Amino acid sequence: MTNPWTDIKNTDLVIVMGGNAAEAHPCGFKWVTEAKAHRGAKLIVVDPRFTRTASVADYYAPIRPGSDIAFLMAMINWMIQNDKVQWEYVKNFTNAAFIVKDEFGWSDGLFTGYDPEKRDYDKSSWDYVIGDDGFAQVDMTLQNPRCVWNLLKEHVSRYTPELVEQVCGTPKDKFLHIAEMIGECSAPDKVMTSMYALGWTQHAKGSQNIRGMAMLQLVLGNIGVRGGGMNALRGHSNIQGLTDIGLMSNLIPGYLNIPTEAETDWTTYMSSRSFKPLRPGQTSYWQNYPKFMVSFMKAMWGDAARADNDWAYDYLPKLDVPTYDILRMFDLMNEGQITNYFCQGFNPLLSFPNRAKLTAALSKLKLLVVMDPLETETAHFWENHGEYNDVDSASIQTEVIELPTTSFAEDDGSLVNSGRWLQWHWAAGTPPGQARRDTWIMSQIFLRVKKLYQDEGGVFPDPILNLTWDYADENEPTAEELAKELNGKALGDVYDLVDTTKLLAGQGKQLLNFSQLRDDGSTMSACWIYGGCWNEDGNNMARRDNSDPDDTGMFLNWSYAWPLNRRILYNRASADMEGRPWDASRKLMEWNGEKWVGYDIPDISPTAKPSDVGPFIMNAEGASRLFTRGMMRDGPFPTHMEPFESPIANVFNPEMRGNPAARVFASDAEQFATSDEFPFVATSYRLTEHFHYWTKHNRINAALQPEFFVEISEELAAEKGIKKGGMVRVWSKRGEVWARAVVTKRIRPLQCGEKLVHVVGIPLHWGFIGAARKGFGPNSLTPFVGDANVETPEFKAFLVNIEPATGEAVS
Amino acid sequence: MTMDPNLDSPRTAVSNPPIQPMKANLGPGDVVRASAMPDLPKPERELTPVAKLIDVSKCIGCKACQSACAEWNDTVPEIGFNAGVYENPHDLTPDMFTLMRFSEFDNPETGNLEWLIRKDGCMHCSDPGCLKACPAPGAIVQYSNGIVDFIHENCIGCGYCITGCPFDIPRVSKVDHKSYKCTLCSDRVAVGQGPACAKACPTQAIVFGTKNDMIEHANMRVEDLKSRGFENAGIYDPEGVGGTHVFYVLHHADQPSLYSNLPENPRISPVVQGWKGVTKTIGLAVIGAAAVGSILHGLLGRANKVSAEEEREAEHLVESNLPAGKEGS
């Protein structure tokens, strides 16, 4: 989230699209009810289903799963056509004025540079014109036909309300009603917030869905302000922490990158990370990359990371492919190329696509180690549970070891919430039985591997033997020790960069925050963005002062928000070019003539003059991007792409299937279905009564929603002869499930042009272990393909067929 | 935290409130009516009436209230099945005192679908039909703050309370043959806390406090709903049962039946009103007059954290004011 949960109370309009906040984030949703009750805010829901969120919305519109980009681009088009643009914001705080290369273009659903063989783009044309001065060229009058604004205007002009009706199935009048409501928020004193979740991410073009709304929010001037923002509602209590800490195969903590194999040495690696400002005087904060990276290397390898060995750069693994994401890992496993798999804290057998492929893949392993507080289906993938897990146990030779771990309530530590708050928590109970902390288990494995290297040597023992392991008890680092390591400390005396006699942190002291990181090896920090979480003031994550001067919702003394305890990202954008708040009643930051002051930590150098330095300090432009240059694999603007399995051909290019830049493994391409055989669109989702695959172990949750079901419209039920509460069989090209039928008015067929599209809703939460009745997950049906940029699986739009179940019900 | 000597009911206007320490109440001196005990002494004080307000328009149907209710009351609801609807269990049970009921309403006036979700459970009527119908002395009591509570030690499991209830709420357990329903968390309210459901409610659709505060809060909510186009928004606090201590804000107060058949005009069945006198006698005959004294002792001695002083008062009440019990002993 750009903004904290508590800030949602400051909004005038909430749009929930690509999510179902009331259902999946009921506790956070309280801030929507606050905004409605105390500000008179309105709530819009756009969703294929009339959800629990829709039940308390002021306005609801249906949309066909997987057509969000068309809706969002049409919304931007409507704003431009109706002059609902926050012009001062757009001109100064976005890259609207930047001139783009003449070679860039779009036709037939594709941008320039597409290579169908590689399923990839040559992105060289997707960039600015760079002048002789080394800076990007701009036209602040927005008259140049090649400036981003005019290219955007032209790009979105195709997306009319009529096209929305045809592609999305959203009635034109409903689209226009929502456009009117949103358009009001282009006024500097009106704000909309966007709340979204996996309804947008779980598509082969998920990143572009989110870009679409981010662009709309920029056009309206709603980023960086109170009550605004792009708010990704995270689905686990610490999933924000997961990405922060770099548990992505291509990331290092703090959103640094694992090198690629082409980057054979430090200089090469750093050469593409200079992040030189693209406009004069801009911050381009990533220029500090070397400080973050060196400090990370020092945290990892201490004295073994030195300037003369490129900070132990050779110790880092180098990627030979863009990512080793879970889809790739299971594909490799299925190809027999992986023998051992550690599965820590997740249940892929139910949470990754195409369960048949997952089962086949796990069956080819020699060893599967599962670390989890609960018994998982993954750990029991080899057990026959009749229809629910119909495997031939005798033929599976995989050795499975389950290591019971503690749960969050049995540990001290921090959880990072959606609003980037690092909140410390204390163990509330003692671990049951033989459960051990993950840190203990990982330490034991590390110490044993290290001993093997010590005793027997190896090809390249250095990264293991030299790993910093400076804990009071080497068998189990404490949460405090790890947190301090993430924050960082001074390895030598650290002096001010300007006043070089001024000592900032003496050797051995915890660093104040990441501003004290150095690239000379005198500092270490395992995750630079967490700098400040545990400094010499102590554990700032444990702060529990809920004072909130003037009720702004910022709560600066409650826990610690990265970066630098900042609650709203890009908050300098809450004020105009003179530094005056756009909305005096919703002041966040203002320029007092000398520096930035206000209710939040300024997201800019405190003394950077408002007319000189742009608010988007992480971007080399100093501005936000309506056009993303070559930074995304599938285009610098979002363009409508159908799901890989769709009942409708792409309106711009009937030959184009799915996202043309998404990675597709050969064996999976054969398993994509067409609507001839599988006529219905399915989408998957969570229910409030449960949390993923955990709470089916809990008796009360199981009582509240005991049995797997699917939801269909009354029309589809009538067409197929399906009775409310009856059993149905739902099948895709990859598998089948049996479920109870919930027949509802909340799902209605969508008229998309000539085609009537029926939607089948498939909740998750059931498996073959736990207190709830045995059931299935949607992943038995879903295609094995992910987002082109981040590989999040396409769980929200795929094709199935449905029929009343014959014979005995399985439950 | 200091104790407020003047606080007799929790002044809780929002969910998840701070604890408000107060002297524990809902002892014998707070009982205003008890089933089949027409000669109950006048209570020695009047507590401030409390109420739980359920704002249907804020409810997201998450069932946190159901979960909290089962947790607090330590019930073990059955893991049932899906009957093609979101209600689970499918009805109130002796192990589920509250239930979210879901109804899909195609509003003919607006053309919009509405998903009306109502938390069902005991309404804590000012004029409780269950209590009137109950033949077992002291099995159902009403406190001066308005809470209607079942005293299971005294319950004979006859089910008359269900007949007497205009809202069809109590359920008799097949295991222990006692009747169960929402207690309005009398054990929590007695020590200054709101009900478990209100505490768990994430959107403050359930709020708890004095009835006056709740009416005021409800009026504000009605105003907000009217500003959003719900012209018939209003409060459901039915007169036919003397008003209730659990009441609703409805978007369509003119059509309560839209909300899973919430009665338009609930009243105690005339049959129950008529047989009241008879059943009392039968009840006494069945149980035997000898037991009455001990029943009332059980009732009065039962409340949470009852002080020794209250205990003595209770014994005094039994001995001095209940000749029937005395004679039988």
Domain limits for position A297: 240-320+468-531
Instruction: Kindly state whether residue A566 falls inside one of the protein's structural domains.
Output: no
- The answer to whether the CB atoms of A706 and B77 lie below 8 A apart is no
- The answer to whether the CB atoms of B79 and A699 lie below 8 A apart is yes
Instruction: Kindly state whether residue B231 falls inside one of the protein's structural domains.
Output: no
Instruction: Kindly state whether residue B72 falls inside one of the protein's structural domains.
Output: yes
Which SS3 state, helix, strand or coil, does residue A370 take?
strand
pLDDT at position A745 over 70? yes
Give me the pLDDT at residue B6, please. Answer: 75
Q: Which residues of A212-243 are buried (b: 16+ CB within 10 A; e: fewer)?
A: bbbbbbbbbbbbbbbbbbbbbbbbbebbbbee
What would the pLDDT profile of A277-297 be if each residue is shown by its tens digit? Answer: 999 999 999 999 999 999 999
* Segment B192-202 mean pLDDT: 92
What would the pLDDT profile of A351-373 be if each residue is shown by its tens digit? Answer: 999 999 999 999 999 999 999 99
What would the pLDDT profile of A13-70 be if each residue is shown by its tens digit? Answer: 999 999 999 999 999 999 999 999 999 999 999 999 999 999 999 999 999 999 999 9
CA-CA distances (angstroms) from residue A271 to A88, A159, A290, A309, B45?
35, 40, 11, 17, 82
Q: Which of residues 88-117 of B touch A (CB under 8 A)?
A: 88-89, 96, 104, 106, 112-117
Query: Nearest-CA neighbor of A766 among A689, A703, A688, A707?
Result: A707
pLDDT over 70 percentage in chain B: 79
CA-CA distances (angstroms) from residue A55 to A5, A746, B115, B253?
21, 10, 5, 17
**What does A288-330 look like in DSSP terms, one character per residue?**
GHHHHHHHHHHHHHGGG--GGGGGGGGGS--BSSS---HHHHH
Most trustworthy range by pLDDT among A76-80, B25-29, B311-315: A76-80
**Residue of chain A whose alpha carbon sits nearest to that of B200:** A27
Query: Nearest-CA neighbor of A185 among A85, A93, A94?
Result: A85
Measured at the CA of B158, the angle between CA B156 and CA B162, to 5 degrees, comes to: 120
- The answer to whether the CB atoms of B84 and A708 lie below 8 A apart is no
What would the pLDDT profile of A600-619 be if each residue is shown by its tens digit? Answer: 999 999 999 999 999 999 99
pLDDT over 70 percentage in chain A: 99
* Segment A395-405 mean pLDDT: 97
Give me the pLDDT at residue A611, please. Answer: 95
**Residue of chain A whose alpha carbon sits nearest to that of B76:** A700
- Same domain, yes or no: A58 and A165: yes
Residue A567 tokens read as 């609650």
**Residue of chain A whose alpha carbon sits nearest to that of B104:** A745
Provide the number of structural domains found in chain B. 1
What would the pLDDT profile of A578-604 be if each residue is shown by its tens digit? Answer: 999 999 999 999 999 999 999 999 999
pLDDT at position B5 over 90? no
Question: What is the number of CB-based contacts under 8 A between chain A and chain B?
Answer: 127
- Same domain, yes or no: A195 and A300: no
Q: Which of residues 20-59 of B touch A (CB under 8 A)?
A: 57-59
d(CA B323, CA B325): 5
Give me the pLDDT at residue B286, please. Answer: 47
Contacts with A538 (C-beta within 8 Å, 6 or more apart), sequence order: none
Q: What is the ipTM of this complex?
A: 0.94
pLDDT at position B303 over 80? no
From the CA of A743, how many Å to the nearest CA of chain B?
7
pLDDT at position B287 over 90? no
From the CA of B40, how many Å to the nearest CA of chain A?
40
Domain limits for position B104: 28-48+61-198+257-328
Residue A288 tokens read as 């500090």
Query: Nearest-CA neighbor of A51 among A76, A78, A16, A79?
Result: A16
From the CA of B84, how many Å to the nearest CA of chain A?
4
d(CA B128, CA B147): 10
A420, A453, A486 — which closes off a domain? A453
Instruction: Kindly state whether residue A587 falls inside one of the protein's structural domains.
Output: no
From the CA of B181, how many Å to the nearest CA of chain A?
18
- Same domain, yes or no: A335 and A423: yes
From the CA of A56, how many Å to the nearest CA of chain B?
6
- Same domain, yes or no: A796 and A672: yes
In a mutagenesis test of the A interface, which of B65, B110, B115, B117 is the best target, namely the one with the most A β-carbons within 10 Å?
B115
From the CA of B301, how many Å to the nearest CA of chain A?
32
Give me the pLDDT at residue B2, please. Answer: 61
- Same domain, yes or no: A190 and A64: yes
Q: For residue B113, list chain A residues with Cβ-Cβ distance below 8 A.
A: 50, 60, 745-746
Instruction: Kindly state whether residue B204 falls inside one of the protein's structural domains.
Output: no
Provide the number of structural domains found in chain A. 4
d(CA A485, CA A531): 10
From the CA of B268, how many Å to the nearest CA of chain A?
31
Instruction: Kindly state whether residue A102 falls inside one of the protein's structural domains.
Output: yes
Q: For residue A30, list chain B residues with Cβ-Cβ distance below 8 A.
A: 202-204
* Segment A767-778 mean pLDDT: 97
- The answer to whether the CB atoms of A30 and B204 lie below 8 A apart is yes
- The answer to whether the CB atoms of B88 and A743 lie below 8 A apart is no
Instruction: Kindly state whether residue A352 falls inside one of the protein's structural domains.
Output: yes
d(CA B31, CA A488): 63
Confidence band of B299 (pLDDT split at 50, 70, 90): low
Instruction: Kindly state whether residue A613 falls inside one of the protein's structural domains.
Output: no
Q: For residue B64, list chain A residues with Cβ-Cβ distance below 8 A.
A: 26, 688
Contacts with A316 (C-beta within 8 Å, 6 or more apart), sequence order: A258, A259
Which SS3 state, helix, strand or coil, does residue A551 take?
helix
d(CA A379, CA A320): 30
The beta-carbon neighbor of A741 closest among B59, B63, B84 is B84
- Same domain, yes or no: A413 and A485: no
- Same domain, yes or no: A79 and A115: yes
- Check which CATH number belongs to the domain holding B152 and give it: 3.30.70.20
Strands B140-143 and A534-535, by their bridges, are unpaired
Instruction: Kindly state whether residue B11 falls inside one of the protein's structural domains.
Output: no
- The answer to whether the CB atoms of B82 and A709 lie below 8 A apart is yes
- Same domain, yes or no: A441 and A521: no
- Same domain, yes or no: A264 and A333: no
- The answer to whether the CB atoms of B60 and A22 lie below 8 A apart is yes
From the CA of A153, how many Å to the nearest CA of chain B?
34
Partner A contacted by B80 (CB < 8 A): yes
pLDDT at position A663 over 70? yes
* Segment A684-697 mean pLDDT: 97
The beta-carbon neighbor of B82 closest among A54, A56, A740 is A740
Instruction: Kindly state whether residue B235 falls inside one of the protein's structural domains.
Output: no
- Check which CATH number belongs to the domain holding A33 and give it: 3.40.228.10
Q: For residue A25, list chain B residues with Cβ-Cβ distance below 8 A.
A: none
pLDDT at position A650 over 60? yes
Q: For residue B85, list chain A residues with Cβ-Cβ distance below 8 A.
A: 724-725, 742
- Same domain, yes or no: A757 and A777: yes
Partner A contacted by B60 (CB < 8 A): yes
Secondary structure tally for chain A: helices H, strands E:
22, 33
From the CA of A55, how many Å to the nearest CA of chain B?
5
- Same domain, yes or no: A218 and A149: yes
Instruction: Kindly state whether residue B21 falls inside one of the protein's structural domains.
Output: no
Q: For residue B207, list chain A residues with Cβ-Cβ distance below 8 A.
A: none
CB atoms within 10 A of CB A61: 22
pLDDT at position A809 over 70? no
Confidence band of B4 (pLDDT split at 50, 70, 90): confident
d(CA B53, CA B221): 11
Q: Which of residues 189-218 of B touch A (CB under 8 A)?
A: 202-205
Q: For residue A725, list chain B residues with Cβ-Cβ distance below 8 A.
A: 82-85
What would the pLDDT profile of B74-103 be if each residue is shown by its tens digit? Answer: 999 999 999 999 999 999 999 999 999 999
A398, A427, A453 — which closes off a domain? A453
The beta-carbon neighbor of B88 closest among A705, A723, A744 is A705
Q: For residue A58, list chain B residues with Cβ-Cβ distance below 8 A.
A: 228
pLDDT at position B15 over 60? no
Instruction: Kindly state whether residue A623 falls inside one of the protein's structural domains.
Output: no
Cα first-last separation, chain B: 46
Burial of A457 (0-12, 13-18, 19+ CB in 10 A): exposed
Instruction: Kindly state whether residue A337 falls inside one of the protein's structural domains.
Output: yes
- Same domain, yes or no: A316 and A343: no
* Segment A627-641 mean pLDDT: 98
**Residue of chain B whose alpha carbon sits nearest to that of A704:** B88
Confidence band of A573 (pLDDT split at 50, 70, 90): very high
Give me the pLDDT at residue B276, please. Answer: 52
Give me the pLDDT at residue A578, please. Answer: 97
Q: For residue B227, list chain A residues with Cβ-Cβ distance below 8 A.
A: 40
Give me the pLDDT at residue B19, please. Answer: 65
A197, A214, A235 — which closes off a domain? A235
Q: For residue B70, list chain A residues with Cβ-Cβ distance below 8 A.
A: 700, 703
Residue type, A662: A
From the CA of A706, how many Å to the nearest CA of chain B?
6
From the CA of B154, how many Å to the nearest CA of chain A?
29
Q: For residue B63, list chain A residues with Cβ-Cβ distance below 8 A.
A: 688-689, 704-705
CB atoms within 10 A of CB A725: 15
- The answer to whether the CB atoms of A689 and B117 lie below 8 A apart is no
Residue A326 tokens read as 């879970």
Instruction: Kindly state whether residue A122 falls inside one of the protein's structural domains.
Output: yes
- The answer to whether the CB atoms of A27 and B202 lie below 8 A apart is yes
